[in-house]
Amino acid sequence: MNPREHVRNFSIIAHIDHGKSTLADRILEYVGAIDKRHFHAQLLDDMEIEQERGITIKASAVTINYKADDGHTYTLNLIDTPGHVDFTYEVSKSLAACEGALLLVDASQGIEAQTVANFFLAREHNLKIIPVINKIDIAGIDIDRVKEQITDILRLEEDDILLASAKEGIGIKEILERVVQTIPAPSGDDNNPLETLIFDSSFDTYKGVVIYGRLFNGQLALGDTIRMMQANKICTVEEIGVFRPQMTSTKALHCGEVGYITANIRDPKEILIGDTITLADHPAQQPLPGYKKVKPMVFCGIYPVNAKDFAELKVAMEKLGLNDSSFVYETETSQSFGYGFRCGFLGLLHMEIVQERLEREYNLNLVLTTPNVVYRITTRDDKVMEVDNPAKLPDPVQIKLAEEPFVRAFMIVPTNAIEEVCELTKQRRGEFLANDYLGEERVKVIYRMPLAEVIVDFYDKIKSVTRGYGSLDYEFDGYNPTKLVKLDILINGKICDAFSCLIHKDKAQAKGRLLVEKLRELIPRQLYLINLQAAIGGTILASEKIRPVGKNVTAKCYGGDITRKRKLWEKQKEGKKRLKQVGNVEIPQEAFLAALKI
């Protein structure tokens, strides 16, 4: 067993697509932690969806041994983190378990919005930061320009910057040497009372809940009786071990180490991420500071297409909630779909990932309603309520004040695209705050804007007007008064609550028109006329019709007996009228997905 001086805990942070997972792969290969047979790209991204999209969603830990130039063998605990703005919470959890971080910057793209956000996140946790310029093997890059950005924007020393190519395996040894030389060893003592921070967990069918923890004090052995300090649950340790990258059981975990614990816990709800584990008979005085509870920004309804799948969906939600503590949900009912859940997410990508995981990992067929942000409503009798669902909006007569969440958006864009970006932000009700030129080619622009305008496709639009070079990060910035209305979609006079949404009054007409036009394209024709309308209260804003499928009832009539034909047409008209009264319109899944994108 290595003494604590030879343990290093560090994570890799960067903007999305700057090469974190590839660097983790190269480090594992360099130290010989995996053999060639088991190797595949993005080795720590073990979810199928991470492999496909080429992004990291969950932070993942691995323990490796490295023989340094000073002759000592070091135990390195490496945590690979996500880079997308929706998963910042995963990054902050990982940083709490570390003493240092490798900050990766793409040699061709330079510093991006999430690079800056993650840098400050690491600073908040008082970590030792090692800047690394990655992808130096790409042709036509300007390393001096990127070095200048790192020294100007992040105020880091030029001498500290390392150069690497994770793809080609260049600079890996230098990075590992810098990690063992400059990142401090974990503090704490084996003889103190046990303090283990739970930074993640997952569910195993055979072992129950698997807790991922970092020991800040004390040590833990098989058979110890432990207590979760916030959940106040007592249980016995059945297995402990480390990730190499597969789970490898050990006899004990010591102060400063990162590993996993199982204790035959069957109910996912009993584990709180950020809780502290201590020994039941020799407890710590107080729990470690956990994480600030993350607030979901976007809400939508998730319903099973088949009502009898509701129980399965409930179990799937509980297991997913264990693995993703930033995802919240509660039961709700809808006129159109019956029983389902109101779910909260950190952003739209987070929502998409959760839907995809539920459908794949738990084999469910789901319908999602239009996403909404959380509005704050003050009623005439001065009651303040939070509304995350169009159905909860009080009668407009009762509303004294409606407020919507605003964010401070930080965009780093090329200077030649600044006009288009400002124009786009103005259309989204953005208010200019400041700009800051980062060299000749790039500028940082700060706007204050409504969150509702950011969540759907703002990031995509920024990417397209800047030809892929723009980046976005945002933080919550309070509530502002707004003109809020509830937009309903009526199908043959009946409100379809799956398409209802809360929206700013000035945007309602355009969105209503787009929605009914899209639905006209996507809903298949029936035997009767379908009326589609977008309305606010009793006011119709837009309307479309889907013509019925014609059936030639007079095909069997030959000759010129017009009275007989008329009789058949009248009969058909009556039948269609009756159909229209009882007919339920079948709405395909694509229609709901298209509505989310508008």
Q: Which of 188-192, 292-296, 405-409 has the lowest mean pLDDT?
A: 292-296
User: Which residues carry a binding-site annotation?
Assistant: 17-22, 134-137
Taking residues 318-335, what's their average pLDDT?
75
- 412 DSSP β-pair partners: 444, 471
Nearest to 10 by CA among 112, 134, 132: 132
- 240 DSSP β-pair partners: 250, 261
pLDDT at 593: 65
Average pLDDT, whole number, for the chain? 79
Q: Which range has the top average pLDDT, 267-271, 365-369, 424-428, 437-441?
A: 424-428
* 247 residue type, one letter: M
Q: Which residues contact 101 (CB under 8 A, 6 or more apart)?
A: 10, 11, 12, 13, 95, 122, 127, 128, 129, 130
Taking residues 238-265, what's their average pLDDT?
84
DSSP 393: P
Q: Is 373 left (phi over 0), alpha (psi -120 to 50) or beta?
A: beta
pLDDT band at 1 (very low <50, low <70, confident <90, very high): very low
pLDDT band at 82 (very low <50, low <70, confident <90, very high): low
- 543 DSSP β-pair partners: 533
pLDDT at 40: 45
Taking residues 438-460, what's their average pLDDT?
81
Q: Which of 434-438, 547-551, 577-581 has the lowest mean pLDDT?
A: 577-581
- Report whether 193 contacts 217 (CB < 8 A): yes
pLDDT at 91: 63
* Residues 521-565 pLDDT 10s: 888 887 777 888 888 888 888 888 888 776 676 667 766 677 777
User: Which residues carry a binding-site annotation for GTP?
Assistant: 17-22, 134-137
Whole-angstrom distance, CA of residue 227 vs CA of residue 246: 26
Position 504 pLDDT exceeds 70: yes
Q: Which residues contact 269 (CB under 8 A, 6 or more apart)?
A: 318
Q: Which residues contact 406 (CB under 8 A, 6 or more apart)?
A: 448, 449, 450, 451, 476, 477, 478, 479, 480
Q: How many CB atoms lie within 10 A of CB 565?
A: 13
pLDDT at 33: 63
Taking residues 94-113, what's their average pLDDT?
82
pLDDT at 116: 79
Q: What is the DSSP string of 221-255?
A: ETT-EEEETTTTEEEE--EEEEESSSEEEESEE-T
Residue 594: what are its φ and ψ, rounded to 5°? -65, -35
Residue 538: what are its φ and ψ, rounded to 5°? -95, 0
Q: Which of 175-184, 321-330, 430-439, 564-573 has the lowest mean pLDDT?
A: 321-330
pLDDT at 475: 78
Whole-angstrom distance, CA of residue 78 vs CA of residue 94: 10
pLDDT band at 93 (very low <50, low <70, confident <90, very high): low
For residue 244 the two structure tokens come to: 């190499």
pLDDT band at 44 (very low <50, low <70, confident <90, very high): very low
pLDDT band at 37 (very low <50, low <70, confident <90, very high): very low
Residue % of the chain over a pLDDT of 90: 0
CA 277, distance to chain mean position in Å, is: 27
Position 592 pLDDT exceeds 60: yes
Position 47 pLDDT exceeds 70: no
Position 215 pLDDT exceeds 50: yes
Q: Which of 42-46, 501-505, 551-555 has the lowest mean pLDDT?
A: 42-46
pLDDT band at 579 (very low <50, low <70, confident <90, very high): low
- 488 DSSP β-pair partners: 535
pLDDT band at 42 (very low <50, low <70, confident <90, very high): very low
pLDDT band at 390 (very low <50, low <70, confident <90, very high): confident
Whole-angstrom distance, CA of residue 92 vs CA of residue 197: 13
Position 366 pLDDT exceeds 80: yes
Set out the domains of the chain in order of their start, with CATH numbers.
Answer: 4-182 (3.40.50.300), 195-279 (2.40.30.10), 298-371 (3.30.70.870), 376-481 (3.30.70.240), 508-597 (3.30.70.2570)
Whole-angstrom distance, CA of residue 343 vs CA of residue 374: 12
pLDDT at 271: 76
For residue 554 the two structure tokens come to: 């007079």
pLDDT at 258: 83
Taking residues 396-414, what's their average pLDDT?
86
Position 325 pLDDT exceeds 50: yes
Q: How far apart are the first and last CA of the chain?
A: 57
Question: Coil, strand, or helix at residue 338?
Answer: strand
State the Cα torsion 70-71-75-81 to the nearest 10°: 40
For residue 319 the two structure tokens come to: 């297991």
Half-sphere exposure in the Cβ direction for 519 (13 Å, CA):
29
Whole-angstrom distance, CA of residue 5 vs CA of residue 155: 29
Taking residues 171-176, what's their average pLDDT?
87
* 316 residue type, one letter: A
pLDDT at 89: 56
Question: Coil, strand, or helix at residue 576?
Answer: helix
Question: Coil, strand, or helix at residue 569?
Answer: helix
Position 375 pLDDT exceeds 60: yes
pLDDT at 35: 52
pLDDT at 88: 56
- Report whether 178 contacts 171 (CB < 8 A): no
Position 46 pLDDT exceeds 50: no
Q: Which of 215-229, 426-440, 580-594 has the lowest mean pLDDT?
A: 580-594
Q: Which of 125-139, 232-246, 292-306, 353-367 has the lowest mean pLDDT?
A: 292-306
Whole-angstrom distance, CA of residue 60 vs CA of residue 25: 12
pLDDT at 309: 85
Taking residues 425-440, what's their average pLDDT?
85
